[in-house]
Structure 1
Amino acid sequence: MSAATVLARPVTAATRWSRRAGGVLAFVVLLELLSRTGLVDAEFLPPATEILQRAGELLLDPAFRTHAATSLLAWAAGLGLAAAIAVPLGLLLGSVPILDAAMRSVVEFLRPIPSVALIPLVALVIGTDLRLRITLVVYAALWPILYNTMYGLRGVDPVAKESLRSYGFGRLAVLLRVSLPSSAPFITTGLRLSAGVALILTVSTEIVAGRGEGIGVFIFFAGLAVPARMVDILAGVFWVGLFGVLVNALLVAADRRAFRWHHERLGART
Protein backbone atom coordinates (compact mmCIF):
# COMPACT_ATOMS: atom_id res chain seq x y z
CA MET A 1 0.00 0.00 0.00
CA SER A 2 1.49 3.33 -1.04
CA ALA A 3 1.95 6.31 1.24
CA ALA A 4 -0.35 8.37 -0.98
CA THR A 5 -3.15 5.85 -0.43
CA VAL A 6 -2.69 5.99 3.33
CA LEU A 7 -2.73 9.80 3.33
CA ALA A 8 -5.86 9.85 1.17
CA ARG A 9 -7.86 7.86 3.67
CA PRO A 10 -10.34 9.98 5.65
CA VAL A 11 -9.48 10.44 9.30
CA THR A 12 -12.20 9.05 11.55
CA ALA A 13 -13.43 10.76 14.70
CA ALA A 14 -11.95 7.97 16.82
CA THR A 15 -8.54 8.52 15.22
CA ARG A 16 -8.71 12.27 15.82
CA TRP A 17 -9.63 11.81 19.47
CA SER A 18 -6.93 9.17 20.00
CA ARG A 19 -4.32 11.53 18.57
CA ARG A 20 -5.49 14.35 20.80
CA ALA A 21 -5.47 12.10 23.84
CA GLY A 22 -1.97 10.96 22.93
CA GLY A 23 -0.80 14.56 22.69
CA VAL A 24 -2.32 15.44 26.07
CA LEU A 25 -0.75 12.37 27.68
CA ALA A 26 2.65 13.22 26.22
CA PHE A 27 2.35 16.79 27.56
CA VAL A 28 1.43 15.55 31.05
CA VAL A 29 4.36 13.10 31.06
CA LEU A 30 6.72 15.89 29.96
CA LEU A 31 5.59 18.16 32.81
CA GLU A 32 5.95 15.31 35.28
CA LEU A 33 9.49 14.52 34.13
CA LEU A 34 10.57 18.17 34.15
CA SER A 35 9.57 18.48 37.78
CA ARG A 36 10.56 15.03 39.06
CA THR A 37 14.01 15.10 37.47
CA GLY A 38 14.80 18.58 38.80
CA LEU A 39 15.18 20.19 35.39
CA VAL A 40 12.59 22.71 36.59
CA ASP A 41 12.25 23.72 40.23
CA ALA A 42 9.19 21.93 41.65
CA GLU A 43 8.43 25.08 43.65
CA PHE A 44 7.60 26.87 40.41
CA LEU A 45 6.32 23.89 38.39
CA PRO A 46 4.86 21.15 40.59
CA PRO A 47 4.52 17.64 39.10
CA ALA A 48 1.56 17.19 36.79
CA THR A 49 0.12 14.48 39.04
CA GLU A 50 -0.03 16.91 41.97
CA ILE A 51 -1.69 19.55 39.80
CA LEU A 52 -4.33 17.10 38.58
CA GLN A 53 -4.91 15.82 42.11
CA ARG A 54 -5.39 19.37 43.39
CA ALA A 55 -7.72 20.13 40.46
CA GLY A 56 -9.87 17.17 41.50
CA GLU A 57 -9.93 18.41 45.11
CA LEU A 58 -10.97 21.89 43.99
CA LEU A 59 -13.91 20.41 42.10
CA LEU A 60 -15.23 19.12 45.43
CA ASP A 61 -14.59 22.42 47.23
CA PRO A 62 -17.82 24.52 47.54
CA ALA A 63 -15.82 27.75 47.70
CA PHE A 64 -14.03 27.02 44.43
CA ARG A 65 -17.29 25.99 42.77
CA THR A 66 -18.68 29.39 43.75
CA HIS A 67 -15.66 31.04 42.13
CA ALA A 68 -16.18 28.95 39.00
CA ALA A 69 -19.91 29.71 38.83
CA THR A 70 -19.25 33.45 39.06
CA SER A 71 -16.72 33.30 36.23
CA LEU A 72 -19.05 31.24 34.06
CA LEU A 73 -21.87 33.71 34.68
CA ALA A 74 -19.72 36.65 33.60
CA TRP A 75 -18.47 34.71 30.57
CA ALA A 76 -21.93 33.60 29.41
CA ALA A 77 -23.58 36.98 30.02
CA GLY A 78 -20.81 38.90 28.26
CA LEU A 79 -20.70 36.53 25.29
CA GLY A 80 -24.48 36.57 24.92
CA LEU A 81 -24.67 40.36 25.03
CA ALA A 82 -21.79 40.65 22.55
CA ALA A 83 -23.61 38.38 20.10
CA ALA A 84 -26.88 40.27 20.59
CA ILE A 85 -25.11 43.52 19.70
CA ALA A 86 -22.63 42.35 17.07
CA VAL A 87 -24.92 40.31 14.82
CA PRO A 88 -27.54 43.04 14.17
CA LEU A 89 -24.81 45.67 13.90
CA GLY A 90 -22.84 43.53 11.46
CA LEU A 91 -25.94 42.91 9.36
CA LEU A 92 -26.65 46.63 9.30
CA LEU A 93 -23.12 47.70 8.39
CA GLY A 94 -22.76 44.89 5.87
CA SER A 95 -26.05 45.72 4.18
CA VAL A 96 -25.76 49.51 4.02
CA PRO A 97 -22.46 50.51 2.32
CA ILE A 98 -22.87 54.21 3.16
CA LEU A 99 -23.24 53.43 6.86
CA ASP A 100 -20.31 51.03 6.70
CA ALA A 101 -18.11 53.72 5.15
CA ALA A 102 -19.19 56.26 7.77
CA MET A 103 -18.50 53.95 10.72
CA ARG A 104 -15.36 52.27 9.39
CA SER A 105 -12.94 54.71 11.00
CA VAL A 106 -14.68 54.50 14.37
CA VAL A 107 -14.67 50.71 14.31
CA GLU A 108 -11.01 50.53 13.27
CA PHE A 109 -10.12 52.95 16.07
CA LEU A 110 -11.94 51.04 18.81
CA ARG A 111 -11.09 47.49 17.77
CA PRO A 112 -7.34 47.47 18.59
CA ILE A 113 -7.80 48.93 22.10
CA PRO A 114 -7.00 46.16 24.63
CA SER A 115 -9.92 45.50 26.93
CA VAL A 116 -7.60 45.12 29.92
CA ALA A 117 -6.42 48.71 29.36
CA LEU A 118 -10.00 49.86 29.95
CA ILE A 119 -10.24 48.26 33.41
CA PRO A 120 -9.37 51.47 35.38
CA LEU A 121 -11.85 53.56 33.39
CA VAL A 122 -14.68 51.06 33.55
CA ALA A 123 -14.02 50.40 37.24
CA LEU A 124 -14.34 54.11 38.01
CA VAL A 125 -17.60 54.36 36.07
CA ILE A 126 -19.46 51.19 37.13
CA GLY A 127 -17.37 49.70 39.96
CA THR A 128 -15.43 46.44 40.26
CA ASP A 129 -18.29 43.99 40.64
CA LEU A 130 -19.71 41.55 38.07
CA ARG A 131 -20.69 44.41 35.78
CA LEU A 132 -17.01 45.25 35.20
CA ARG A 133 -16.26 41.77 33.88
CA ILE A 134 -19.37 41.59 31.73
CA THR A 135 -18.69 45.02 30.20
CA LEU A 136 -15.11 44.16 29.26
CA VAL A 137 -16.09 40.75 27.95
CA VAL A 138 -18.73 42.35 25.74
CA TYR A 139 -16.20 44.83 24.39
CA ALA A 140 -13.59 42.15 23.61
CA ALA A 141 -15.99 39.51 22.25
CA LEU A 142 -17.86 41.98 20.05
CA TRP A 143 -15.26 42.28 17.28
CA PRO A 144 -14.84 38.70 16.03
CA ILE A 145 -18.60 38.28 15.71
CA LEU A 146 -19.03 41.68 14.07
CA TYR A 147 -16.31 41.15 11.47
CA ASN A 148 -17.34 37.59 10.67
CA THR A 149 -20.94 38.74 10.20
CA MET A 150 -19.86 41.45 7.78
CA TYR A 151 -17.52 39.05 5.99
CA GLY A 152 -20.29 36.50 5.63
CA LEU A 153 -22.57 39.07 4.01
CA ARG A 154 -19.97 39.79 1.34
CA GLY A 155 -20.04 36.15 0.27
CA VAL A 156 -23.79 35.88 -0.24
CA ASP A 157 -24.75 34.75 -3.73
CA PRO A 158 -26.00 37.88 -5.57
CA VAL A 159 -28.12 35.73 -7.89
CA ALA A 160 -30.11 34.42 -4.91
CA LYS A 161 -30.76 37.96 -3.71
CA GLU A 162 -31.78 39.19 -7.14
CA SER A 163 -34.07 36.20 -7.59
CA LEU A 164 -35.92 37.05 -4.39
CA ARG A 165 -36.17 40.73 -5.34
CA SER A 166 -37.64 39.76 -8.71
CA TYR A 167 -40.54 38.18 -6.84
CA GLY A 168 -41.27 41.45 -5.08
CA PHE A 169 -39.49 40.89 -1.76
CA GLY A 170 -38.05 43.97 -0.10
CA ARG A 171 -34.61 44.62 1.35
CA LEU A 172 -35.50 43.33 4.83
CA ALA A 173 -37.03 40.13 3.48
CA VAL A 174 -33.95 39.45 1.34
CA LEU A 175 -31.74 40.06 4.37
CA LEU A 176 -33.68 37.65 6.59
CA ARG A 177 -34.38 34.97 3.97
CA VAL A 178 -31.09 34.89 2.05
CA SER A 179 -28.29 36.96 3.58
CA LEU A 180 -28.68 35.90 7.20
CA PRO A 181 -28.91 32.12 6.53
CA SER A 182 -25.93 32.30 4.16
CA SER A 183 -23.91 34.25 6.73
CA ALA A 184 -24.83 31.97 9.64
CA PRO A 185 -21.74 29.70 9.33
CA PHE A 186 -19.45 32.73 9.47
CA ILE A 187 -21.36 34.15 12.43
CA THR A 188 -20.92 30.82 14.20
CA THR A 189 -17.19 30.96 13.54
CA GLY A 190 -17.08 34.45 15.03
CA LEU A 191 -19.00 33.21 18.06
CA ARG A 192 -16.50 30.38 18.54
CA LEU A 193 -13.59 32.80 18.38
CA SER A 194 -15.33 35.19 20.76
CA ALA A 195 -15.99 32.38 23.25
CA GLY A 196 -12.24 31.97 23.75
CA VAL A 197 -11.67 35.72 23.90
CA ALA A 198 -14.47 36.09 26.46
CA LEU A 199 -12.96 33.40 28.67
CA ILE A 200 -9.53 35.07 28.56
CA LEU A 201 -11.00 38.46 29.42
CA THR A 202 -13.14 37.08 32.23
CA VAL A 203 -10.21 35.49 34.05
CA SER A 204 -7.69 38.25 33.29
CA THR A 205 -10.11 40.94 34.50
CA GLU A 206 -10.66 39.01 37.73
CA ILE A 207 -6.91 38.71 38.24
CA VAL A 208 -6.26 42.40 37.60
CA ALA A 209 -9.25 43.60 39.65
CA GLY A 210 -8.53 41.09 42.43
CA ARG A 211 -11.92 41.50 44.11
CA GLY A 212 -15.11 39.56 44.56
CA GLU A 213 -15.37 36.00 43.35
CA GLY A 214 -14.15 34.14 40.28
CA ILE A 215 -11.45 31.73 39.21
CA GLY A 216 -9.20 34.68 38.40
CA VAL A 217 -9.63 35.98 41.95
CA PHE A 218 -8.81 32.51 43.29
CA ILE A 219 -5.62 32.46 41.18
CA PHE A 220 -4.75 36.01 42.26
CA PHE A 221 -4.89 35.26 45.99
CA ALA A 222 -3.05 31.96 45.51
CA GLY A 223 -0.24 34.00 43.97
CA LEU A 224 -0.23 36.47 46.86
CA ALA A 225 0.37 33.71 49.42
CA VAL A 226 3.87 33.41 50.88
CA PRO A 227 5.13 31.22 49.40
CA ALA A 228 2.88 31.31 46.34
CA ARG A 229 0.60 28.29 46.09
CA MET A 230 1.67 27.22 42.62
CA VAL A 231 -0.34 24.01 42.79
CA ASP A 232 -3.52 26.03 43.37
CA ILE A 233 -2.61 28.49 40.59
CA LEU A 234 -1.99 25.76 38.04
CA ALA A 235 -5.02 23.75 39.15
CA GLY A 236 -7.18 26.83 38.57
CA VAL A 237 -5.54 27.36 35.18
CA PHE A 238 -6.25 23.71 34.38
CA TRP A 239 -9.99 24.16 34.89
CA VAL A 240 -10.01 27.34 32.79
CA GLY A 241 -8.19 25.57 29.96
CA LEU A 242 -10.40 22.49 30.16
CA PHE A 243 -13.54 24.60 29.99
CA GLY A 244 -12.19 26.43 26.95
CA VAL A 245 -11.43 23.14 25.20
CA LEU A 246 -14.89 21.74 25.92
CA VAL A 247 -16.70 24.88 24.76
CA ASN A 248 -14.69 24.99 21.55
CA ALA A 249 -15.36 21.29 20.87
CA LEU A 250 -19.10 21.73 21.42
CA LEU A 251 -19.28 24.78 19.15
CA VAL A 252 -17.28 23.03 16.42
CA ALA A 253 -19.55 19.97 16.61
CA ALA A 254 -22.67 22.15 16.51
CA ASP A 255 -21.29 24.09 13.56
CA ARG A 256 -20.53 20.95 11.58
CA ARG A 257 -23.95 19.47 12.31
CA ALA A 258 -25.96 22.62 11.62
CA PHE A 259 -24.03 23.78 8.56
CA ARG A 260 -22.99 20.53 6.94
CA TRP A 261 -23.87 21.99 3.54
CA HIS A 262 -21.39 24.82 4.06
CA HIS A 263 -18.49 22.52 4.94
CA GLU A 264 -19.30 20.19 2.06
CA ARG A 265 -19.22 23.13 -0.32
CA LEU A 266 -15.86 24.26 1.05
CA GLY A 267 -14.56 20.71 0.72
CA ALA A 268 -15.68 20.58 -2.89
CA ARG A 269 -13.71 23.73 -3.67
CA THR A 270 -10.44 22.40 -2.29
Structure 2
Amino acid sequence: MLVATRDTLASAFAGLLASSAIGLALGITLGMFQIIDRLMEVTIETIRPIPSIALLPIALIALGFGYRMEIAIVTFACVWPILILSRAAVRGIEPRLLEVSRALRLSLGDQVRKIIIPASLPRIFVAFRLSAGIALIVAVSVEIAINPIGLGAAIMTAQQALRPDLMLAYLLWIGVIGYALNRGLVIAQQRLFGRAALVGEAS
Protein backbone atom coordinates (compact mmCIF):
# COMPACT_ATOMS: atom_id res chain seq x y z
CA MET A 1 0.00 0.00 0.00
CA LEU A 2 2.83 2.42 0.82
CA VAL A 3 4.54 1.80 -2.53
CA ALA A 4 1.25 2.30 -4.39
CA THR A 5 0.61 5.49 -2.40
CA ARG A 6 4.06 6.80 -3.26
CA ASP A 7 3.51 6.17 -6.99
CA THR A 8 0.11 7.86 -7.03
CA LEU A 9 1.19 10.89 -5.00
CA ALA A 10 4.38 11.31 -7.05
CA SER A 11 2.37 11.53 -10.27
CA ALA A 12 -0.35 13.70 -8.72
CA PHE A 13 2.05 16.22 -7.18
CA ALA A 14 4.29 16.39 -10.26
CA GLY A 15 1.26 17.08 -12.46
CA LEU A 16 -0.06 19.60 -9.94
CA LEU A 17 3.21 21.53 -9.88
CA ALA A 18 3.49 21.53 -13.67
CA SER A 19 -0.11 22.67 -14.10
CA SER A 20 0.36 25.38 -11.45
CA ALA A 21 3.33 26.85 -13.31
CA ILE A 22 1.59 26.70 -16.70
CA GLY A 23 -1.82 27.83 -15.46
CA LEU A 24 -0.44 30.70 -13.39
CA ALA A 25 1.71 32.02 -16.23
CA LEU A 26 -1.18 31.85 -18.71
CA GLY A 27 -3.72 33.20 -16.22
CA ILE A 28 -1.62 36.24 -15.36
CA THR A 29 -0.91 36.91 -19.02
CA LEU A 30 -4.58 36.66 -20.03
CA GLY A 31 -5.66 38.73 -17.03
CA MET A 32 -3.22 41.53 -17.82
CA PHE A 33 -3.66 41.68 -21.60
CA GLN A 34 -7.28 41.58 -22.71
CA ILE A 35 -6.36 41.47 -26.40
CA ILE A 36 -4.47 38.19 -25.85
CA ASP A 37 -7.40 36.91 -23.81
CA ARG A 38 -9.82 37.63 -26.64
CA LEU A 39 -7.53 35.98 -29.18
CA MET A 40 -7.13 32.86 -27.04
CA GLU A 41 -10.73 32.59 -25.83
CA VAL A 42 -11.99 30.28 -28.59
CA THR A 43 -8.94 28.03 -28.35
CA ILE A 44 -9.18 27.72 -24.57
CA GLU A 45 -12.93 27.14 -24.51
CA THR A 46 -12.58 24.50 -27.25
CA ILE A 47 -9.84 22.52 -25.50
CA ARG A 48 -11.00 22.93 -21.89
CA PRO A 49 -14.15 20.73 -22.08
CA ILE A 50 -12.17 17.72 -23.39
CA PRO A 51 -12.19 15.07 -20.62
CA SER A 52 -8.65 14.34 -19.48
CA ILE A 53 -9.31 10.59 -19.60
CA ALA A 54 -10.17 10.92 -23.30
CA LEU A 55 -6.52 11.82 -23.93
CA LEU A 56 -5.30 8.45 -22.62
CA PRO A 57 -4.92 6.77 -26.04
CA ILE A 58 -2.88 9.69 -27.40
CA ALA A 59 -0.78 9.96 -24.25
CA LEU A 60 -0.16 6.23 -24.23
CA ILE A 61 1.09 6.26 -27.82
CA ALA A 62 3.27 9.32 -27.23
CA LEU A 63 4.62 8.55 -23.75
CA GLY A 64 3.95 4.88 -23.01
CA PHE A 65 3.06 3.45 -19.61
CA GLY A 66 4.50 4.96 -16.46
CA TYR A 67 4.88 8.26 -14.66
CA ARG A 68 5.28 10.53 -17.70
CA MET A 69 1.95 9.57 -19.20
CA GLU A 70 0.10 9.94 -15.90
CA ILE A 71 1.76 13.27 -15.11
CA ALA A 72 0.78 14.62 -18.54
CA ILE A 73 -2.89 13.69 -18.02
CA VAL A 74 -2.94 15.17 -14.49
CA THR A 75 -1.33 18.36 -15.78
CA PHE A 76 -3.96 18.75 -18.49
CA ALA A 77 -6.79 18.23 -16.01
CA CYS A 78 -5.45 20.62 -13.36
CA VAL A 79 -4.26 23.49 -15.53
CA TRP A 80 -7.75 24.83 -16.27
CA PRO A 81 -8.95 25.73 -12.75
CA ILE A 82 -5.66 27.50 -12.03
CA LEU A 83 -5.71 29.34 -15.37
CA ILE A 84 -9.32 30.50 -15.08
CA LEU A 85 -9.22 31.49 -11.41
CA SER A 86 -5.84 33.22 -11.66
CA ARG A 87 -7.09 35.17 -14.67
CA ALA A 88 -10.16 36.24 -12.68
CA ALA A 89 -7.95 37.11 -9.70
CA VAL A 90 -5.75 39.38 -11.81
CA ARG A 91 -8.78 41.12 -13.27
CA GLY A 92 -10.16 41.64 -9.77
CA ILE A 93 -7.12 43.54 -8.52
CA GLU A 94 -7.84 47.04 -7.23
CA PRO A 95 -7.21 49.36 -10.22
CA ARG A 96 -5.48 51.91 -7.99
CA LEU A 97 -2.71 49.41 -7.30
CA LEU A 98 -2.01 49.16 -11.01
CA GLU A 99 -2.13 52.95 -11.31
CA VAL A 100 0.48 53.21 -8.57
CA SER A 101 2.72 50.71 -10.36
CA ARG A 102 2.47 52.72 -13.56
CA ALA A 103 3.14 55.97 -11.67
CA LEU A 104 6.26 54.39 -10.19
CA ARG A 105 7.24 53.22 -13.69
CA LEU A 106 7.69 49.64 -12.59
CA SER A 107 8.75 47.22 -15.28
CA LEU A 108 6.35 44.46 -16.31
CA GLY A 109 8.29 41.91 -14.29
CA ASP A 110 8.23 44.13 -11.21
CA GLN A 111 4.49 44.72 -11.62
CA VAL A 112 3.88 40.97 -11.67
CA ARG A 113 6.23 40.25 -8.77
CA LYS A 114 5.40 43.18 -6.47
CA ILE A 115 1.77 44.00 -7.28
CA ILE A 116 -0.13 41.34 -9.21
CA ILE A 117 0.96 38.12 -7.51
CA PRO A 118 0.74 39.42 -3.90
CA ALA A 119 -2.69 40.98 -4.54
CA SER A 120 -4.18 37.89 -6.21
CA LEU A 121 -2.42 35.17 -4.19
CA PRO A 122 -5.34 34.35 -1.83
CA ARG A 123 -7.60 33.54 -4.79
CA ILE A 124 -4.82 31.70 -6.61
CA PHE A 125 -4.35 29.49 -3.55
CA VAL A 126 -8.04 28.55 -3.72
CA ALA A 127 -7.43 27.41 -7.29
CA PHE A 128 -4.43 25.39 -6.11
CA ARG A 129 -6.59 23.66 -3.47
CA LEU A 130 -9.19 22.80 -6.08
CA SER A 131 -6.57 21.45 -8.45
CA ALA A 132 -4.96 19.35 -5.70
CA GLY A 133 -8.17 17.36 -5.32
CA ILE A 134 -8.51 17.01 -9.08
CA ALA A 135 -4.91 15.79 -9.33
CA LEU A 136 -5.54 12.92 -6.91
CA ILE A 137 -8.81 11.94 -8.60
CA VAL A 138 -7.33 11.96 -12.10
CA ALA A 139 -4.17 10.10 -11.05
CA VAL A 140 -6.19 7.25 -9.53
CA SER A 141 -8.56 7.22 -12.52
CA VAL A 142 -5.67 6.90 -14.98
CA GLU A 143 -4.24 4.04 -12.93
CA ILE A 144 -7.58 2.25 -12.87
CA ALA A 145 -8.08 2.72 -16.59
CA ILE A 146 -4.68 1.87 -18.01
CA ASN A 147 -1.54 2.65 -16.00
CA PRO A 148 -0.22 -0.35 -14.01
CA ILE A 149 1.12 1.61 -11.03
CA GLY A 150 -0.26 3.28 -7.93
CA LEU A 151 -3.41 2.92 -5.91
CA GLY A 152 -5.71 2.65 -8.93
CA ALA A 153 -3.80 -0.34 -10.27
CA ALA A 154 -3.84 -1.87 -6.77
CA ILE A 155 -7.64 -1.60 -6.73
CA MET A 156 -7.85 -3.39 -10.08
CA THR A 157 -5.45 -6.10 -8.86
CA ALA A 158 -7.64 -6.65 -5.80
CA GLN A 159 -10.70 -6.88 -8.03
CA GLN A 160 -9.08 -9.53 -10.23
CA ALA A 161 -8.08 -11.46 -7.11
CA LEU A 162 -11.73 -11.33 -5.92
CA ARG A 163 -10.74 -9.41 -2.77
CA PRO A 164 -13.55 -6.89 -2.11
CA ASP A 165 -12.17 -6.32 1.40
CA LEU A 166 -8.85 -5.17 -0.07
CA MET A 167 -10.61 -3.01 -2.65
CA LEU A 168 -12.59 -1.30 0.13
CA ALA A 169 -9.40 -0.77 2.14
CA TYR A 170 -7.74 0.97 -0.81
CA LEU A 171 -10.82 3.12 -1.43
CA LEU A 172 -10.95 4.20 2.20
CA TRP A 173 -7.22 4.92 2.14
CA ILE A 174 -7.65 7.16 -0.91
CA GLY A 175 -10.39 9.01 0.96
CA VAL A 176 -8.10 9.49 3.96
CA ILE A 177 -5.34 10.84 1.71
CA GLY A 178 -7.74 13.25 0.01
CA TYR A 179 -9.10 14.50 3.34
CA ALA A 180 -5.62 14.95 4.79
CA LEU A 181 -4.43 16.78 1.68
CA ASN A 182 -7.37 19.20 1.69
CA ARG A 183 -7.16 19.74 5.44
CA GLY A 184 -3.46 20.53 5.22
CA LEU A 185 -4.05 23.04 2.45
CA VAL A 186 -6.92 24.68 4.38
CA ILE A 187 -4.68 25.13 7.43
CA ALA A 188 -1.88 26.51 5.25
CA GLN A 189 -4.31 28.90 3.57
CA GLN A 190 -5.61 30.23 6.88
CA ARG A 191 -2.13 30.70 8.33
CA LEU A 192 -0.71 32.32 5.22
CA PHE A 193 -3.56 34.69 4.41
CA GLY A 194 -5.73 35.01 7.53
CA ARG A 195 -8.97 36.84 6.79
CA ALA A 196 -7.90 37.27 3.17
CA ALA A 197 -8.39 33.50 2.79
CA LEU A 198 -12.13 33.99 3.41
CA VAL A 199 -12.23 36.66 0.70
CA GLY A 200 -10.58 34.27 -1.72
CA GLU A 201 -13.11 31.55 -0.85
CA ALA A 202 -16.06 33.88 -1.33
CA SER A 203 -14.70 35.15 -4.65
Q: TM-score range by the shorter chain?
A: over 0.9
1:78 to 15, 23, 30: 15
Match of 1:129 in 2: 66
Q: Normalising to structure 2: TM-score of the pair?
A: 0.94
The answer to whether residue 174 in structure 2 is matched with residue 240 in structure 1 is yes
**RMSD in angstroms over aligned alpha carbons?**
1.7
- Is it true that 1:251 corresponds to 2:185 in the alignment? yes
169 and 137 in structure 1: CA distance in 2 versus 1, 3 angstrom threshold? same
Aligned positions of 1:10-29 closer than 5 A: none
Deviations 1:109-149 (A, max 9, x none): 11111111111111011111111110100000111111110
Q: In structure 2, what is the equivalent of residue 219 of structure 1?
A: 155
Partner of residue 161, structure 1:
98
Query: TM (normalized to structure 1)?
Result: 0.71
- Count residues with an aligned counterpart: 202
SS at match of 1:112: coil
1:221-242 deviations in whole A, cap 9, x for unaligned? 11122xx211111110111111
Q: 2:45 aligns to what?
A: 108
**Partners of 1:128 and 1:244 in 2: CA distance:** 24
Provide runs of 4+ in structure 1 moved above 3 Å: 263-267
Deviations along 1:40-67, whole A, 9 cap, x unmatched?
xxxxxxxxxxxxxxxxxxxxxxxx2111
Equivalent residue for 2:25, pick from 88, 106, 110: 88
Q: Percent identity?
A: 34
Q: Name the larger-Rg structure.
A: 1
Unpaired runs of 5+ in structure 2?
none
User: Is it true that 1:262 corresponds to 2:196 in the alignment?
Assistant: yes
- Shift of residue 202 of structure 1? 0.5
Distance 1:80 1:264, change over 3 A: closer
1:142 paired residue number: 79
Which runs of structure 2 are paired with 1:137-216 in the superposition (5 Å)?
Answer: 137-211=74-148, 213-216=149-152
Specify every segment of 5 or more residues in structure 1 that has no aligned partner in the other structure, as ranges. 1-63
More helix by share: 2
Q: Which residue of 2 aligns with 1:231?
A: 165
CA distance in 2, matches of 1:110, 1:102: 14
Letter of the 1:122 partner, please give it. A
